[in-house]
Amino acid sequence: MISLKDICKTYRIGTEVVHALDHASLEVEDGEFVSIIGPSGSGKSTLMNIIGCLDIADSGEYLLDGIPIEDYSENELATVRNKKIGFVFQSFNLINKLTAYENVELPLIYQKLKKSERKARVRAALEKVDLVKRAEHFPTELSGGQQQRVAIARAIATHPSLILADEPTGNLDSKTSKEIMDIFHDLNSQGNTIVLITHDRNVAKQAKRSVNILDGRVSEATDDSIV
Amino acid sequence: MIQSFKMALKSISGNKMRSFLTMLGIIIGVMALVILVSLVNGTTSSVTDTINSLGSNMVGVTVSNDYGNPVRKEDLDEWVKRPNIGYAAPIASGSMTGKYNSTSKTVTVYGTTEQYFTIKKSELSIGRFLKSSDYDNHTNVCVISSETAEKLVGYTSCLNEEITLNGSKFKIVGVLKENKDASALAAIMGGGNLEAYIPYSSHVRLSTDTSNYVTSFYLSAAEGFTTDSVKTVINQIMLERFNYDEDAFNVQSTDTLEDAMGNITAILSILLGGIAGISLVVGGIGIMNIMLVTVTERTREIGIRKAIGASRGAILRQFLIEAVVLCMIGCAIGIFLSWSFLRLVTVIVSSLDLSFGMNGTVVIVAVSFCFFIGVVFGLYPANKAAKMKPIDALHYSE
């Protein structure tokens, strides 16, 4: 599914060079539920951007579904993000001018699907997160948990190979966090591959497998070694 | 495409006040363009009508070199018999001192024949025109314009009064009706002179510059013939008469005047249209300005769209369509307001017999120009949006 080998990424902040990723390697199999855990500044956001095809590594090899990503042009990356990856962000990142329905529909519009097909998929996705009744509400009229559920519906509407969640519970209270995590568990049990990035070890523990990231280096974590 | 269009409408209606203010530039530009050009066109057709009322189907000929074969009144009488030519009248003019009792004015005195009035389509307010017997007998009679009657004699019903032209007494036998259009035009062209018409033969006696050799005459087309055909015929006659020397004479018709008028108004249209075009461009800059603000404001939205798979082209299209739609709505409002304005003006000046219809060509020009402006000034902001990197845009904080 995902195969990262010796990925390096450096940033230049002013005159200082930051090695965000230092020969990081990671394998994720189909149907896995992997959490990537690390403190802030450990390079986990960079890793997430590279896995999510929002950014390209300086060196190393990244295979997504067996396809090398680094040779892709910007537009090809857009297509990959559209069809293979479903994003769930900490800050939800819904478009406030669009209703819940329209937000979920948006990636399908970029796939140039027919209206009837879009309607069926949006409905199915909203059913999975139990928000059919709120379809015509705007994000500002929804609670944080509901907004994140809309975001999850948007991520799964395209039937992506990979659901990539970046601190999905970071802005939510513990009760709604649990609801969201339950949805992820459900999705995983239905066969979806999930990569979840967090700094919260309680959240990370819920995944079947956890990976530590520290100073740009990735290592497998046992229950004890989760930082 | 339809989706981008819907999104554009949504975004425009989401910020009505700002959208309207942005459109205002385009609205004013379109109104300036459509109204100015339509007004010029409306006025032109009215002026053209006036020129026609001066005597259409009229050909004027002047002879500058007669090659020893001068034109006489008898020749004119001969030419009138040709099928194309309706009437022919010699004309001689001179400035003379006109006197009535103690009043003294400079009067432009025309020596001509009875056919002149038919050619000119003159109308009498009182009395009669000149007669052919007046020419034959060198009678000292005159037909005067109503203005001459008012200013020289003092009243318009002055039949049978006698005025003195360069010392010779002339009896007033007719007073012409005032031609409002013609006198207005004459005033513009520096005329406004007092006019009197006397038999050509009398003019010969009165003025040393006038002889029985006619150097200037008017022709009109016969019923069913065009002015152009008369021009062709008289041109041929003159060429044969004057050794095929084209410079020996000059044939002119009122068409020439109309053509000149047409040229002037065409230039005026282009000039005013150009100025209005500038205001449209300024409106376009306003659109570009607000689109740049919109793009910055919506950086995060652009980031989200890119993250979930919008290509560069999709973002470019979205913002470009928004700019063009903004322009075209402004254009539509502008055209509607222009139409209303022109209708209003037409009603207000209805007494002047002017009509200002909306010119179809200028509407098409305005619409295509607006579209062009929307694309040109929308391209830069749209491209700026499309070029954004998804991570930078996503992490942009407002």
Q: What is the pLDDT of residues A190-212, one digit of tens each?
A: 888 999 998 888 888 888 899 99
- Domain holding A158, by residue range, is 2-221
What mean pLDDT do residues B66-76 have? 86
**Band of the pLDDT at B364, cuts 50, 70, 90?**
very high
Which residue in the set B309, B390, B394 is minimally distant from A110, CB to CB?
B309
Query: In whole angstroms, how large is the CA radius of gyration of chain A?
Result: 17
- Token pair, residue A136, equals 């015509």
Contact B308 A154 (CB under 8 A): yes
Which range among A154-168, B245-259, B338-352 has the greatest average pLDDT?
A: A154-168
- CATH number at A115 reads 3.40.50.300
Q: Cα separation of B228 and B300, whole Å?
A: 72
Place of tokens 């559920």: A149
Q: What is the pLDDT of residue B253?
A: 78
End-to-end C-alpha distance for chain B, whole angstroms? 29
**Dihedral angle computed from the Cα positions of residues B304, B308, B310 and B311, in that order, rounded to the nearest 10 degrees:** 110
**A53 domain-assigned:** yes
Q: Cα separation of B83 and B216, whole Å?
A: 21
Task: Please give the distance of CA A53 from its chain centroid, rounded to a whole number.
Answer: 11
ipTM value: 0.91
**A226 domain-assigned:** no
Inform me whether the pLDDT recorded for B121 exceeds 60: yes
**Band of the pLDDT at A220, cuts 50, 70, 90?**
confident
**Band of the pLDDT at B242, cuts 50, 70, 90?**
confident
What mean pLDDT do residues A55-61 have? 87
Contact B309 A54 (CB under 8 A): no
Q: What is the pLDDT of residue A193?
A: 92
Q: Cα separation of B320 and B351, whole Å?
A: 48
* CA angle (B380 as vertex; B374, B381 as ends), nearest 5: 85
Inform me whether the pLDDT recorded for A86 exceeds 80: yes
Residues above pLDDT 70, as percent of chain B: 92
Contact A110 B301 (CB under 8 A): no
Residues above pLDDT 90, as percent of chain A: 36
**A174 domain-assigned:** yes
Which chain A residues are Cβ-neighbours of B387 within 8 angstroms? Answer: none
What mean pLDDT do residues B347-355 have? 75
At A89, give phi and psi (nearest 5°). Answer: -105, 160
Which residue in the set B3, B303, B312 is minimally distant from A75, CB to CB?
B312
Which residue in the set A55, A78, A97 is minimally distant from B310, CB to CB?
A78
Query: Beta strands A193-198 and A33-37: pairing type?
Result: parallel
**A56 domain-assigned:** yes
Q: Do the beta carbons of residue B251 and residue B231 sit within 8 Å?
A: yes
Cβ neighbourhood burial of A81 (10 Å; 0-12, 13-18, 19+):
buried
Q: Cα separation of A64 and A196, whole Å?
A: 16
Contact B311 A75 (CB under 8 A): yes
**Band of the pLDDT at A99, cuts 50, 70, 90?**
very high
What is the per-residue DSSP string for B324-368? HHHHHHHHHHHHHHHHHHHHHHHHHTGGGT---PPPHHHHHHHHH
Contact A93 B394 (CB under 8 A): yes
Inform me whether the pLDDT recorded for A104 exceeds 90: yes
Contact A93 B300 (CB under 8 A): yes
Place of tokens 């769930």: A88
**Band of the pLDDT at A118, cuts 50, 70, 90?**
very high
B9 contacts chain A (CB < 8 A):
no
Q: What is the pLDDT of residue B190?
A: 47
- Token pair, residue B138, equals 């060198």
Q: Of B65, B24, B49, which is closest to residue B250 (Cα–Cα)?
A: B65
Which chain B residues are Cβ-neighbours of A54 within 8 angstroms? Answer: 307, 390-391, 394
What pTM value is reported for the model? 0.70
